Amino acid sequence: MATKELEYIKQPVPKLQDTLAALKRNDIPGARDAFDAYDGSWNGIEVYISTRSRDNYTKLEMELQHQVNDLLAGGAPKAAEISPLIEQMIAKYDEAIKLAETGPGISPLFDDVAAIRVVRADLRIVASALKAGNTGKAKTAFSSFQKGWPTVEGLIKSRNAGTHGEIVSAITTADKAFQGSNTEQQASSNSALMEKYNAGLALVVTEARGGERPSCRVFARSQRGAAVPHAPFHPASPGQVRAPILHAW
């Protein structure tokens, strides 16, 4: 059955495929761009991965992505070294999709958190592009954010109209900056917008934490059989995956 979770966790895969295709062409700049886009997409949906499987999350974020980033940032990246890592990441997504298809239902609050984080990914790209001196890419990403914002603003406005208003005001300020050419103003306005946006995200995260028991620790077995602690969980409805502590950013 199609769910928002499935829709979201499939989104980063084409960006990994784009990265792999660029590596096969030995196009390192293209691979960097594609993997940068992957990072933004991953940041939006990682909450699903970490909830379904901490092992998958650790492998994707802490190991494979870290290795790829290090190799791409090196002085002479070798496509032959990076390609197998990307292929492993794609395989991990196949596992994640299977878990989402066959596992118990997950709280709909995750869908709200993911939706807001997915739209925020463009603001992260704006920041990294401006830092790299790529104003064209930054403007494109900001425009993409503006198109995505209407799809999630209701999730924030329904929880706090004041916070919603501050985000709208920050968007207006950033829009004026991006109509000009002052990169310092663009960077500062994007940073201010990110701060307001994160405050809105935090409202939804706080709601998702409802009923959390800080002292509760849930343990699972690692692949090696050792007991490893998971993030604290809060009660969920019958038949739903219990939700771990969610971090706003």
Each residue's pLDDT tens digit, 52-69: 999 999 999 999 999 999
163 and 178 assigned to the same domain: yes
**Residue corresponding to tokens 């492998």:** 59
Nearest CA to 191 out of 113, 130, 114 is that of 130
Task: Note whether residue 123 is domain-resident.
Answer: yes
* Residue 227 pLDDT: 30
Domain boundary among 83, 104, 125: 104
How high is the mean pLDDT of the chain? 85
Question: 79, 111 in Cβ contact below 8 A?
Answer: no
Task: Note whether residue 98 is domain-resident.
Answer: yes
Residue 21's pLDDT band, with cuts at 50, 70 and 90, is very high
Ranges of beta strands (E only) in the chain are 105-106, 219-221, 227-229, 233-234, 240-241, 243-244
Nearest CA to 85 out of 104, 102, 72 is that of 72
* Residue 29 pLDDT: 94
Specify the pTM: 0.77
Task: Tell me the per-residue pLDDT of 171-212, one tens digit each, with 9 for 90 and over.
Answer: 999 999 999 999 999 999 999 999 999 999 999 988 876 633
Q: What are phi and psi of 141, to 5 degrees?
A: -65, -40
* Residue 28 pLDDT: 96
Domain boundary among 62, 86, 104: 104
125 and 89 assigned to the same domain: no
Going from the C-alpha of 136 to that of each of 32, 41, 48, 118, 126, the distances in angstroms are 16, 20, 32, 21, 10
Domain boundary among 66, 85, 104: 104
Task: Tell me the per-residue pLDDT of 151-169, one tens digit each, with 9 for 90 and over.
Answer: 999 999 999 999 999 999 9
* Residue 130 pLDDT: 96
Q: What are phi and psi of 234, to 5 degrees?
A: -115, 160
Q: 236 or 74: which carries more pLDDT confidence?
A: 74
DSSP 219: E
76 and 34 assigned to the same domain: yes
Question: 48, 106 in Cβ contact below 8 A?
Answer: yes
Question: 24, 83 in Cβ contact below 8 A?
Answer: yes
Task: Note whether residue 136 is domain-resident.
Answer: yes
Residue 245's pLDDT band, with cuts at 50, 70 and 90, is very low
- End-to-end CA, the chain: 30
Residue type, 185: Q
* Residue 75 pLDDT: 87
Nearest CA to 74 out of 82, 83, 64, 84 is that of 82
Handedness of CA 106, 89, 143, 73 (dihedral sign): positive
Residue type, 90: I
115 and 88 assigned to the same domain: no
Residues present in the chain in total: 249
Q: What are phi and psi of 93, to 5 degrees?
A: -70, -35
Would you tell me the crossing angle of helices 183-208 and 161-179 to the nearest 10 degrees?
Answer: 160
Domain total for the chain? Answer: 2
Rounded Cα–Cα distance for residues 157 and 205 (Å) = 14
Q: Domain range for residue 52? A: 1-104
Question: 156, 196 in Cβ contact below 8 A?
Answer: no
Going from the C-alpha of 50 to that of each of 23, 54, 66, 230, the distances in angstroms are 28, 5, 16, 10
15 and 69 assigned to the same domain: yes
